[in-house]
């Protein structure tokens, strides 16, 4: 006898759950204003907002060599994913290839969205994306996705070059 009412109970519970979901507003991360072109890297204000939104989504994701997900990402993978998802720009996957995607610029001429490269070992390279005021976004081997400052001693010592991506 108890099992005859089971379908009714299941129906009632599912109806209540669905009705509850229909009335709830889903909170999402605020999105930066849409630029006139998805890959308009000349709009510094929009690029900064877009990069800070990316940071908000990826903050503290752990470093993983070869990684391309929120389960773990490396520096060039983070740059690769950021430019694809946020700017609609397909960059090469590796740091060695990313260094050749644009025009070399002086560090003093950096604008939001420029790539910054470091020589962190004999053959090791690191890449980040310039934000503003000496800050850059990157996937650190020790702390994962984070914002660092070019004035920190380590980054001053290992700075190699900066590149403006061609759009």
**Residue tagged active-site, from 41, 47, 61, 75:** 75
Q: Which of 48, 86, 125, 126 is catalytic?
A: 126
What DSSP string describes 86-147?
Answer: HH-----SSHHHHTTSEEEE-GGG--TT-EEEEE-SSS-EEEEEEEETTEEEEEETTTEEEE
- Which 3 state secondary structure label does DSSP give 11? helix
E strand or H helix at 69:
strand 68-69
Active-site residue flag, 138: yes
Question: Which residues make Cβ contacts (< 8 Å) with residue 150, sequence separation at least 6?
Answer: 107, 116, 134, 135, 136, 156, 159
Q: Which of 48, 86, 125, 138 is catalytic?
A: 138
Residue 116 pairs in a beta bridge with 128, 162
126 is catalytic: yes
Q: How far apart are CA 6 and CA 8, in angstroms?
A: 5
| Residues taking part in catalysis | 75, 126, 138
């Amino acid at each position: 006898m108890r099992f005859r009412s089971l379908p009714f109970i299941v129906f009632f519970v599912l109806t209540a759950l669905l009705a509850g979901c229909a009335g709830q507003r889903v909170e999402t991360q605020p999105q930066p204003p849409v630029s006139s072109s998805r890959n308009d890297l000349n709009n510094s204000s929009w690029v900064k907002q877009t990069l800070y939104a990316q940071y908000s989504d990826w903050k503290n994701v752990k470093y993983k060599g070869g990684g391309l997900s929120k389960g773990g990402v490396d520096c060039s993978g983070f740059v690769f994913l950021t430019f694809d998802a946020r700017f609609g720009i397909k960059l090469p996957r590796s740091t060695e290839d990313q260094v050749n995607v644009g025009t070399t610029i002086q560090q003093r001429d950096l604008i939001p969205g420029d790539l910054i490269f470091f020589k962190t070992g004999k053959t090791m390279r690191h890449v980040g994306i310039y934000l503003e005021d000496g800050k850059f976004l990157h996937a650190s081997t020790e702390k994962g996705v984070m914002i660092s400052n070019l004035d920190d001693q380590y980054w001053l010592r290992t700075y190699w070059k900066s590149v403006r991506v061609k759009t």
